[in-house]
Amino acid sequence: MSTPPGTPLRVALVNGSFEEPAVTDMALLPDASQTQAPGRVPGWLTTATDHLIELWHSGFNGVPSTDGQQFAELNANQVSTLYQDLPTSPGTKLYWRLSHRGRLGQDTMALDIGAPGRAVEQRTFSDGNTAWGHYTGTYTVPAGQTTTRFAFRSVSAAGGNQGIGNFLDGVFFGTAPLVVLAKTAIPVGPLDVGDVVTYRVTARNEGGGAAERLVLTDVLPPGTAYVPGSLRIVDGPNAGAKTDRDGDDQAAYDPESRTVVFRLGTGASATQGGSLANTAALPGGTTVEYRVVLGLETAGTRVVNTATAAYENRLGATPEALTATSDEAATEVRPAADLDVAKSADATTVTVGQTVTYRVAVHNSGPNRATGVTVADRLPAGLAFLSAEPSAGSYDPATGRWTVGELAVGARATLVLRAKATRTGRPVNTATATAAEKDPDPSDNTDSVAVCVEPAPACCEPCVPRG
């Protein structure tokens, strides 16, 4: 459904079902123009000279309401017109809905819509006093009309008493529902692989009528994993309701389609969405959230996610399917590099004075290039440095720091390190690799080799026989 430029997002009557102020049985109350009078009826005005509107509570004199707990009698003390004036924009399609019933018999009223003072009769309604009649229709605001009057005019009433007749209830006049979705990712980022992102979506109905059968869906971004049990209705109707733990939940996660589903609004259940009132009645709308873990394939990327809502406009004769799409929630993920180190020695047992040759290899399995790669490989006591031959970068024997530099995905660098055994024992030589990027699996970043150093053989002069 498109909205003409300049059209107000929301046009809706105030107090359409006459629920305010509350009455015990029946009361004659001042209309909205009587600003100094206590107990006035919000929204509604009357052409009656006494400015009084008659409200009934459901069940009074055996008459039940059809919407909520109260309804109005159009004929209060006088034959009059009950109306509201609303700001409108030309070209806007407005929906109307009402319920009408006679009091003593067949009563008739007219619906007038148009500019104040020039409203045009749209239809008349005649109903008896045994059941409510229910009616719907539409009205398109003509050019130049920035204020539209929606009015009920008494035509006739059974019994001839000007103060008796024409019950009204369940009145609506305004724009169709218009759900607007706002989505955020928390925290803002940038984040690392393995971090948890909370996606929060707020659905607000900026239209006039209620958004019916509201269902919000959200497909997880590639490379992320759903955190079980994280679905939550944060605010709005049924806040705190059960999520994906039971069979009767309002929200669930479908692992096959990788989709989160929330059924939202008043009356929502495990099988269908409920009704979301407009922002005049529910300013904050409803807010939901769920969490995901950033997987390895998101490293060095921008993870983008949007949510979608499907709902219905039920103001007309037949339901109208509508959809809404949220803005993008984007999360920057820092690059990651999975380094692994392998260390070996040319001999596991040597004697004092012999040379031990170590070979150290560092490998980057990605998913991103590794920068600022260093390997800490300081010789332990009992081994004296002789030489180092790195295939990349440089080795400092004083600190044992091998500065490798950059490793592309799949690249490998090696260091040949030679040392002299200076005393007996079992020295352990350890190499540990690090990079500027987060390592998603640091368990293989370190490797060690132990060498057994034994005493040197005793020196023996050869025996020479005496002649």
- Centroid of chain to Cα 429: 52
Residue 100 forms part of a structural domain:
yes
Each residue's pLDDT tens digit, 127-182: 999 999 999 999 999 999 999 999 999 999 998 888 999 999 999 999 999 999 99
| pLDDT band per the 50, 70, 90 thresholds, residue 1 | very low
Contacts of residue 239, defined as CB under 8 A and 6 or more positions apart, other chains included, come to 233, 286
CATH number at residue 245: 2.60.40.740
Let me know whether 45 and 116 are in one domain: yes
Q: Is 37 helix (H, G, I), strand (E, B) or coil?
A: coil
Our count of domains for the chain comes to: 3
**Residue 265: pLDDT over 90:** yes
**The last residue of a domain, from among 314, 332, 350:** 332
| pLDDT band per the 50, 70, 90 thresholds, residue 461 | low
| pLDDT band per the 50, 70, 90 thresholds, residue 334 | very high
Residue 259 forms part of a structural domain:
yes
> In this predicted structure, what is the pLDDT of residue 162?
86
> In this predicted structure, what is the pLDDT of residue 58?
98
Spell out the alpha helix ranges (H) of 191-324: none
Q: Is 248 helix (H, G, I), strand (E, B) or coil?
A: coil
Between 463 and 171, the more confident residue is: 171
**Residue 229: pLDDT over 60:** yes
Let me know whether 152 and 51 are in one domain: yes
CATH number at residue 351: 2.60.40.1530
Residue 438 forms part of a structural domain:
yes
Each residue's pLDDT tens digit, 200-218: 999 999 999 999 999 999 9
Residue 139 forms part of a structural domain:
yes
| pLDDT band per the 50, 70, 90 thresholds, residue 380 | very high
- Average pLDDT over every residue of 352-373: 97
* CB 386 within 8 Å of CB 408: no
CATH number at residue 159: 2.60.120.260
> In this predicted structure, what is the pLDDT of residue 249?
78
Contacts of residue 202, defined as CB under 8 A and 6 or more positions apart, other chains included, come to 181, 182, 183, 235, 284, 285, 286, 287
- Please give the Cα distance from 71 to 57 (Å, whole number): 7
Let me know whether 145 and 76 are in one domain: yes
**Residue 440: pLDDT over 90:** yes
Above pLDDT 70, what percent of the chain? Answer: 94
Let me know whether 101 and 197 are in one domain: no
| pLDDT band per the 50, 70, 90 thresholds, residue 2 | very low
Let me know whether 156 and 258 are in one domain: no
Let me know whether 168 and 283 are in one domain: no
Each residue's pLDDT tens digit, 276-300: 999 989 999 999 999 999 999 999 9
| pLDDT band per the 50, 70, 90 thresholds, residue 3 | very low
Peptide bond into 367 cis (omega under 30): yes
* CB 431 within 8 Å of CB 379: no
**Residue 8: pLDDT over 90:** no
Residue in 225, 279, 287 with CA at minimum distance from that of residue 262: 287
- Average pLDDT over every residue of 248-262: 91
Residue 15 forms part of a structural domain:
no
> In this predicted structure, what is the pLDDT of residue 309?
98
> Domain containing 362: what range?
337-454
> In this predicted structure, what is the pLDDT of residue 456?
85
Each residue's pLDDT tens digit, 305-329: 999 999 999 998 899 999 999 999 9
> In this predicted structure, what is the pLDDT of residue 10?
83
Let me know whether 269 and 324 are in one domain: yes
Residue 21 forms part of a structural domain:
no
Let me know whether 148 and 161 are in one domain: yes
Let me know whether 297 and 198 are in one domain: yes
**Residue 245: pLDDT over 80:** no
**The last residue of a domain, from among 174, 193, 210:** 174
Let me know whether 162 and 211 are in one domain: no
Type of residue found at 260: V
Residue 4 forms part of a structural domain:
no
Average pLDDT of every residue of the chain: 93
Residue 33 forms part of a structural domain:
yes
Structure tokens at 254: 């479908």
> In this predicted structure, what is the pLDDT of residue 242?
57
- Please give the Cα distance from 178 to 175 (Å, whole number): 8
Let me know whether 328 and 234 are in one domain: yes
Let me know whether 327 and 384 are in one domain: no
**The last residue of a domain, from among 159, 174, 189:** 174
Query: Alpha-carbon dihedral of residues 398, 402, 403, 407, nearest 10 degrees?
Result: 180
Q: Which range among 94-98, 160-164, 231-235, 437-441 shows the weakest confidence by mean pLDDT?
A: 160-164
